[in-house]
Structure 1
Amino acid sequence: MTEAVAPAVTPPPAGARHGAWPAFAGCLIAVFMQMIDVTIVNTALPSITADLGASAAQQLLVVTGYSLAFACTLLPAARLGAMFGRRWMFLGSVVAFTVASMWCGISGSAAELIAARVVQGVCGGAMAAQTIAILTASFPRSRHPLVFAVYGGTAGFAGMLGPIVGGALITANIAGSGWHSVFLINVPLGALAFALAFRWLHVGASGRRGGLDPAGVVLSTVSLFLLLSALASVQQDGWRPVPALGVLVALGIGVGFLVQQRCSTLEPLVRLALFEDRGFAVGSILVTLFFGLFTAFVFAISITLQDIVGFSPLRTGITMTPFALGAGAGALVSPWLVGRWGARALAVGIAWFGVCVAIGAGYLWWTGGTVDLRIALGPIFVAGIGVGVFGVQLPPMMLAGLSQRRMDDASGLLPTIEQVGNGLGLALLSAVFFRAHTLGGALAMFAAVAVLALAMGGLALALPSHERR
């Protein structure tokens, strides 16, 4: 939907276009830090537990405290960035994230580490909330598919690399740092991200007036916190009455938040007019489904290979490496594919992944749960290609029909939708699969993933096509 409005983001000063790529590099380092910290701590958790004497509840909070704080910060931080300027909000968040990472690294107790992780999550969310607005304002629309391919590839690579880097750092035990190094590694990375952004990032503030909506902040934060914490509880203990009630309450508060946003006289955190654009509305459904699907698939295949097939963690990692490489290859070719075929490229990509998962399920059934890597590694690589094509090009496709002002509005909303999809995927996986670690349960899970992927392929055809022939 086209709007005759002034740009929401101050155009970059003369010559700033030449600095777009160095500024983008600073953003990518920030993305790498905030995403790797989601998974790197999992590898370090046994060492943290042994050193700090963390209880089971404290171990869970070390992991979920970051994710919850990250998700709940996105919407208000995006609004603050529009008010005070993406540049200064991003720079301040990078500094704060780096300091919080140092605090995590020098924590002397489990309670202190949990507090530091929550602060780190808030700062990571504040960084993430600015990124889409910065990218879309720094590059012309013709560059968006390429920029988002690099951005999405970096985020996905960081998430997959987290456990490997964590294990390497703990094994190396540099200067006796042990688990502390998994957090302290962010200090030099944060300094480099700040230096690049300070020199080259020139995205200004929104031209809008109005302050932060306190009622909207409270309602959105409470709703997201209840929803994601309840879904995390479901992941651990299954669908019991208390977390199920938490999900229902969170959804009720969420509906109240949307009503409040429509009626508020202040600048809203979520501009509902975004969903009047067909690409954004359909894309929001696809983003939620994709992040839920992908999270569930990665966890399910990890559990299947270790608990059913009998692979060691190392052999499981080796088995999944071609999938990551395939996703990277798909990300690289995705701008060209989308440029030629538009939304059809996304539809084929995710449907191709679904077909590969269905074939994999059939292979597991045929062999009775035995996997020959000489046969499996090639198809695993091919399956990753479809995920790479779909995942990295979905955001630019869903944003393609928006004005720059509307893209600015979507900067905090899009990663929030992704976080909700992650939580839903893990919770549904727990309900369907984690209660039955059997070959039949694995086959049922992969069949469900394949069917959902094929359905997403059909829905992707509803995205408006923007081919560039």
Structure 2
Amino acid sequence: MSETAGVAKAEAPGLGAWLAFGACLIAVFMQMIDVTIVNTALPSLTADLGASRSAQLLVISGYALAFACTLLTAARIGAMVGRRQMFLMSVAAFTAASVWCGSASGATELVIARVAQGAAGAGMAAQTIAILTAGFPRERHPLVFALYGGVAGFAGMLGPIVGGVLLTIDIGGWGWRSVFLINLPVGVFAFALAWKFLDRSRPEGRHRLDLVGAALSGLGLFALIAGMAQIQQHGWRLDLVAVTCSGLVLTAVFLAQQRRRTTRGADPLLRLDLFGNPGFRIGSMLVGAFFGLFTAFVFAASITMQDVLGYSPLLTGMVMTLFALGAGAGAIGSLILVPRWDIWALAAGIALFGGCIGAGGVYLHLVDGVANALLCAGPVFAAGFGVGLFGVQLQPMMLSGLDAKRMTEASGVLPTIEQVGNAVGLTVLTTVFFASHSLGGAIMMMGAIAAVALMLAALTVAMPSRAHRERAALSAS
């Protein structure tokens, strides 16, 4: 069996394939919830450990940076040693790092443990697409990706809520430590499922890790994402712009090095021929832009409701919950609408989101910021529905034109594109919105989000049709 195998009997998935998929869902739940759950515990751990302001930021950003900068390398290691082996090692490492976080005696130790946790999370995430595409036939991909994307999105939004509950009930008197220690039983369960049901085959052939490429990609992504994160915090200072530009230069050098390596017939860290497929190329642009847009929207919406419109945290949470429910309905609806309408369903979804946000900006202007939350309930739900319809089915659609081997090569590429999109979205948000941090700024931001969403709808229509994607996949096989 080839290295693309992640679950046995991919042609006819049975209970074992679904239980292996369950291990992936548990892993992504832990990985995503730990992005946001720590925000709730930050005041408590700061007081307990005496963490400085910089240490507090590193507790949050250290995880995200380690995750983003190691995805490509983790995907290649998975192809070398086997997806099952890499996934099991990463789940074990993530669980151990979570216990380390929960038992840290100082702020510096916690930051180091969070970096280890983020790198282990990348090890899990970088195998998932390869496992799912190998474990299920193409006709099941929309369903499994809908479930996978729904769990990932739900976990990120659930993080602050779960964190608040754990701090309130204070299991064993652990306080803030419980937000990390809760991963121990969850991680053990995920490991047990993966150990039992993931395919045990070893990869065929000999593969070598491109150490130069790993260093260039890691350093380039670190400088790029860290630079943009610092710009978000401190503004467009010359030194921070220089760091960000150095990241762009290193990334360009990395891409050139990967092209040369591919030409020589060596194993590259990133297969650039993936982008020769029109569906994957356009889909990559859509994924990066969408994640940047969505990150900016969620962050701006929460601050706008509380700081500009005067909503209470409870009312803000209710509005965002309604949006999340709409996204869940859109994810479910996509299973019916996308098979029927293909790319037009996705374009309609993101256009619906943009239209609702644009109408919301007009409404805030007309009422001078005195908004009726009940009146906005319908558009908020509809906006969420559009996001769910678009976001959940975008990845399986862009992968459907690739053969099985190329799908596994995308396992580390897609999450990396998502992370870069997140960083760019927050940086642009800082420039466009927080320069004024007022009602006018909020309306301007909503207009910008609506405009970008409508441009994404137009770009989505340029995606190859289902018939073209199927022909491309057959010719590549």
TM-score by length of 1: 0.96
Q: Go from structure 1 to structure 2 and tell me whether the alpha carbon gap of 1:254 and 1:419 turns closer, same or farther (over 3 Å shift).
A: same
2:224, 2:248 within 8 Å by CA — same for their partners in 1? yes
Closer, same or farther: CA 331–203 of 1 in aligned 2, 3 Å: farther
Question: Aligned residue for 2:4?
Answer: 9
CA separation in 1, counterparts of 2:9 and 2:218? 39
Q: Hey, what does 2:189 align to over in structure 1?
A: 192
How far did 1:465 drift? 2.1
**Secondary structure in structure 2 of the residue aligned to 1:375:** coil
Query: 1:297-325: per-residue Cα shift (whole Å, max 9, x none)?
Result: 00111110011111122221111111000
CA distance in 1, matches of 2:200, 2:295: 33
SS in 1 for 2:178: helix
Q: How does 1:214-293 map to 2 (within 5 A)?
A: 214-264=211-261, 265=264, 266-293=266-293
My pick for the range that moved more, 407-416 or 374-383, is: 374-383
Alignment of 1:331-410 (within 5 A): 331-410=331-410
Deviation at 1:205, TM superposition (A): 4.3
Matches within 5 A, 1:163-174: 163-174=160-171
1:71, 1:419 within 8 Å by CA — same for their partners in 2?
yes
Q: Which residue of 2 aligns with 1:3?
A: none
1:209 to partner: Cα distance:
2.7
1:233-261: per-residue Cα shift (whole Å, max 9, x none)?
Answer: 01111221111111111111111000000
CA deviation after TM superposition for structure 1 residue 203, in Å: 6.4
The one-letter amino acid of 1:383's match is A
2:27 counterpart of 1:37: no
- The answer to whether the 8 A contact 2:224-2:243 is kept is yes
Q: Structure 1 residues 446 and 11, CA, compared in 2 at 3 Å: closer, same or farther?
A: closer
Shift of 1:206: 3.9
Alignment of 1:76-95 (within 5 A): 76-95=73-92
- Give the aligned residue type for 2:4: V
- Equivalent position SS for 1:374: coil
How many Å apart are 1:338 and its aligned residue?
A: 1.1
Q: What is the CA distance between 1:204 and its match in structure 2?
A: 3.9
RMSD of Structure 2 on Structure 1 (CA): 1.5
Separation in structure 2 between the aligned mates of residue 403 and residue 415 of structure 1, nearest angstrom: 19
Q: CA deviation at 1:363?
A: 1.0
Following superposition, the deviation at residue 390 of structure 1 comes to 0.5
Following the alignment from structure 2 to structure 1, what is the Cα–Cα distance between the partners of residues 363 and 205?
A: 57
Does 1 or 2 have the higher relative contact order (CA < 8 Å, sep 6+)? Answer: 1
Describe the shift of the 1:161–1:11 C-alpha distance in structure 2 as closer, same or farther (beyond 3 A).
Answer: closer
Distance of 1:411 and 1:205 partners within structure 2: 18
Kindly indicate whether the alpha-carbon contact (under 8 Å) linking 2:3 and 2:82 is maintained by their aligned counterparts in 1: no
What is the CA distance between 1:435 and its match in structure 2? 2.2
CA contact (8 A) 1:347 1:390 kept: yes
| 1:177 partnered with 2:183 | no
Partners of 2:325 and 2:55 lie apart in 1 by: 35
Equivalent residue number for residue 146 of structure 1: 143
1:328 maps to 2:328: yes
Q: Structure 2 CA distance, aligned partners of 1:13 and 1:54?
A: 47
Of residues 433-442 and 198-207 in structure 1, the stretch that sits farther from structure 2 once superposed is: 198-207
In structure 2, what residue type is equivalent to 1:465?
S
In 2, Cα distance between equivalents of 1:148 and 1:13: 18
Code of the residue aligned with 2:396 in structure 1: it is P
Partner amino acid, structure 2, of 1:385 = F
Could you tell me which residue of structure 2 aligns to residue 298 of structure 1?
A: 298
For 2:49, the equivalent position in structure 1 comes to: 52
Identical positions, percent: 59
Q: Aligned pair in 2 of structure 1 residues 208, 389: CA closer, same or farther (>3 Å)? A: farther
Flag structure 1 segments of 5+ consecutive residues without an equivalent.
1-5
CA shift digits 1:362-394 (9 cap, x unpaired)? 111111112212111121011100000100101
Matched-pair contact (CA < 8 Å) for 2:349–2:387: yes
2:58 pairs with 1:65? no
CA distance, structure 1, for counterparts of residue 329 and residue 227 of structure 2: 36
Name the CA distance, whole Å, in 1 between partners of 2:155 and 2:191: 19
Say which of 75, 89, 92 aligns to 2:72: 75
Contact in 1 for aligned 2:5/2:131 (Cα 8 Å): no
In the alignment, is residue 104 of structure 1 matched against residue 101 of structure 2? yes
Q: How many residues align?
A: 463
Alignment of 1:117-156 (within 5 A): 117-156=114-153
In structure 2, distance between residues paired with 1:8 and 1:191: 25
- Residues 347 and 461, structure 1, Cα contact 8 Å, conserved in 2: yes
TM-superposed deviation, 1:7 = 5.7
CA distance in 2, matches of 1:332, 1:188: 30
User: How many Å separate the matches in 2 of 1:121 and 1:107?
Assistant: 16
* Compared CA separation, residues 441 and 14, structure 1 to 2 (3 A): closer
Paired residue secondary structure (1:436): coil
Farther-moved stretch of structure 1 (308-317 vs 444-453):
308-317
What corresponds to 2:449 in structure 1?
449
C-alpha displacement at 1:10, in angstroms? 3.7
CA contact (8 A) 2:7 2:20 kept: no
Cα deviation code 1:330-357 (max 9, x no counterpart): 0111122111111111111001100000
Deviations 1:250-301 (A, max 9, x none): 1111110000001124311110000000000000000010000000000111
The 1:201–1:12 alpha-carbon spacing in structure 2 relative to 1, beyond 3 Å, is: closer
Residue by residue over 1:85-137, the C-alpha shift from the partner in whole angstroms, topping out at 9 and shown as x without a partner, is 00011011101100100000011100010010000001000000000000000
In 2, Cα distance between equivalents of 1:14 and 1:401: 22
Kept after mapping to 2: 8 A contact 1:86/1:203: no
* Contact 2:346–2:460 (Cα < 8 Å) also in 1: yes
- Encode CA deviations 1:48-94: one digit per residue, 9 max, x unaligned: 11110100000000000000000111001100101110001101110
Output the CA distance in 2 between the equivalents of 1:11 and 1:308: 49
Query: 2:74–2:126: 8 Å Cα contact kept in structure 1?
Result: yes
Q: Aligned partners of 1:94, 1:343: CA distance in 2, in Å?
A: 35
